Amino acid sequence: MTALICVLAVAGVVATMPGTAYAEPKPPRSLEDVHKEVESLYRQAEAATDAYNAANEAQRSQEKSIAEIAKSAAEAQERMNRLKNQAGSLARAQYRDGSMPPQVRLLLSGSPESFFDGAALTHKGQAATRGLITQVAAAQKAIDGYAKAAGERWKTLDGERRKKEGAKKEIEAKLAAAKELESKLEEKERERLRLLEEERARQAQQKWLSSDAVKGAALKGSGAATAEGKRAVDFATAQIGKNYVWGAEGPDTYDCSGLTLKAWAAAGRAIPRTSQDQWRLLPKVDLKDMRPGDLIIYFGDASHVGMYVGDGAMVHAPRPGRQVTIAGAGSMPVLGVVRPG
Catalytic residues: 256, 304, 316
Position 336: which residue type? G
CA separation, residue 302 to residues 116, 179, 297, 334 (Å): 80, 24, 6, 9
Strand 295-298 to strand 304-310: parallel, antiparallel, or no bridges (unpaired)? antiparallel
Q: What is the DSSP string of 262-329?
A: HHHHHTT----SSHHHHHHHSPEE-GGG--TTPEEEETTTT-EEEEEEETTEEEE--STT-B-EEEET
Sign of CA dihedral 317, 323, 326, 330: negative
What percent of the chain is helix, strand and coil (3-state, nearest 5)? Answer: 65, 10, 25
Longest alpha-carbon distance in the chain: 146
Q: Work out the number of other CB atoms within 10 angstroms of the CB of residue 302.
A: 21
Cβ atoms of 244 and 319 within 8 Å: the answer is yes
Cβ atoms of 251 and 261 within 8 Å: the answer is no
Q: Which residues contact 323 (CB under 8 A, 6 or more apart)?
A: 240, 241, 242, 243, 244, 317
Q: What are phi and psi of 124, to 5 degrees?
A: -65, -40
Cβ atoms of 242 and 299 within 8 Å: the answer is no
Question: Rg of the Cα trace of the chain?
Answer: 37
3-state secondary structure (DSSP) of residue 63 = helix
